Amino acid sequence: MRSQVIYIVTMAIFIVCWLPIASYGQMVYDGQVVDKNTEFPVAGVTVQLLKAKIGTITTDQGYFSLSIENVLLNDTLIFSAVGYRTFQMPVSAYRKNLYLLFHPTVTALEEVAINNKKLKDIVLNKFVWADIADDRDIRTFSTRFAFAKLFTAPNGNMVLKGIALGRKSERNVNTRFLLHVMNVNPSTGGPGKILFTKTVSLNNRALLIRIDLSDDNVVIADAKFYIAVEWLRVPYNEVIHLGAAPRIRKVTKKRGNIHEDVSNYRVSYQPELVGIFRKKRAISWVKIERNRWAPYNSAATGLEIVLSATVHH
C-alpha cells in the first residue's frame, strides 16, 4: 500500500513538473506590425519566442513569420524596437495572421516648417485597419485585367508619396502586379493615359500594403487622377480552386437522368483586393477587355475597393 502511495505521489510530481514545458507540433506565427498612430508598417521589429529563444525581424511591410517545431504552451511572443514600447503576448492569445498596433514611446511631428511654409501630407480616400479587420463584413475583389479608382486632390501639381491597399492572401501569399497612375480621359471621364507605373511584388500574408513612392518623384498636374491595379495573368499569381460539378452519367429508359459529381477546377489570379461597404463610394472603372474600360457598378454591390493615395504639397 505504501509503495502505491509513493508511486502516485511521484507521478503527480512528474505531471506537475512536466506541464509548464508541455509542447505541441510545428507552429507558424505570422502577422504584421504597424505604428498605432500612423498605421504605417514598422520594419526591423525584433519578434522573439522567449522560452524557445528563437526570433526574427519584420520586413519593410512590417510582416514577420516565425516557425518552430515544438511550441512551449506557456511561451511568450515579445515584440521590441527602438522608439516603441516592448509588447508581450502569451502564445495562447495568438491568432492567425496577427495585426499588431505598436505603441511608439514618442509622438512624431506631423508637420515640418521650412522657409515659413508648412508642408503636409493629405490622404485621399482614406481607410484604416478597422475597416478591413477580419471581424468586419468585407468582401474580396479581383478582376480579369485591371481596376481603377478616381482620386480628387485639393489642387493640381501635387507629389504622390504613397499608395495603400487592403488585400487577402489566404490561398496564395505570392503576387506580382502593376500599379498605374493615370490621368482622366476627357471624353469618357474614365482612366486615360498612363503617367507612371510601378511593379509590386509580395511574398507574405500582410493585409495592409503600403507602397512608398517618395523616391519616384511622381508629380500629378491635375487635381483629378486615377490609380489602377493591373493583374498579371502569369503562373506566379495563379490560385487553383478545386470543386465538383454534376454530370449526366446515364439516361434511363424512362428518359430520366442519373447524375454524378465530377471534380473540376478554375483559376483566379492574385491579388485579391478588399472591398468595404460605404454609403458614398468613389468613382471606379474596370477594364473589361485589354483596351476597353467600363464603369464599375458599385451601386449593385455597395462596395468600394480599399485603395488610398497620399499626396504632398
Residue-wise pLDDT tens digits, 228-284? 999 998 888 887 777 776 766 666 666 666 666 667 777 778 888 988 888 888 999
- Does the pLDDT at position 37 exceed 50? yes
56, 65 contact by CB (below 8 A): yes
**Domain coordinates in residue numbering, the chain:** 2-102, 112-237+269-312
- Does the pLDDT at position 39 exceed 70? yes
Which CATH class name applies to 112-237+269-312?
mainly beta
The three-point CA angle 13-16-21 to 5° equals 130
* CA atoms of 242 and 253, how far apart (whole Å): 34
Closest by Cα among 174, 180, 177 to 203: 174
- Does the pLDDT at position 139 exceed 70? yes
72, 85 contact by CB (below 8 A): no
What is the amino acid identity at position 44?
G
The residues, any chain, with a CB within 8 Å of residue 59's CB and separated by 6 or more, are 41, 43, 204
* CA atoms of 307 and 151, how far apart (whole Å): 10
Q: Is the peptide bond before 41 cis (omega within 30 degrees of 0)?
A: no
pLDDT of residue 303: 83
Better-scored residue on pLDDT, 252 or 37: 37
> CB 58: neighbour CB atoms within 10 A?
25
Res. 157 pLDDT band, cuts 50 70 90? very high
Q: How many CA atoms lie within 13 A of 84 on its CB side?
A: 23
pTM: 0.74
Of 139-153, 211-225, 257-271, 272-286, the least confident: 257-271
Judge if 2-102 and 112-237+269-312 fold alike in CATH terms: no
Res. 80 pLDDT band, cuts 50 70 90? very high
pLDDT tens profile 90-121: 999 998 888 899 999 975 444 444 444 455 88
245, 264 contact by CB (below 8 A): yes
What average pLDDT does this structure show over 184-204? 94
> CB 64: neighbour CB atoms within 10 A?
24
- Does the pLDDT at position 43 exceed 90? yes
CATH 2.60.40.1120 fits 2-102, yes or no: yes
Better-scored residue on pLDDT, 21 or 41: 41
The residues, any chain, with a CB within 8 Å of residue 62's CB and separated by 6 or more, are 32, 33, 34, 40, 41, 42, 43, 45, 206
* CA atoms of 239 and 173, how far apart (whole Å): 10
Res. 149 pLDDT band, cuts 50 70 90? very high
Q: Output the DSSP codes for 290-306.
A: TTEEEE--HHHH-EEE-
pLDDT of residue 102: 93
Phi, psi (rounded to 5 degrees) for 69: -75, -50
61, 209 contact by CB (below 8 A): yes
Of 120-129, 248-257, 290-299, the least confident: 248-257
What is the chain's mean pLDDT, rounded?
82
- Does the pLDDT at position 32 exceed 80? yes
Residue labelled with grid coordinates 527602438: 82
47, 57 contact by CB (below 8 A): yes
- Does the pLDDT at position 293 exceed 60? yes
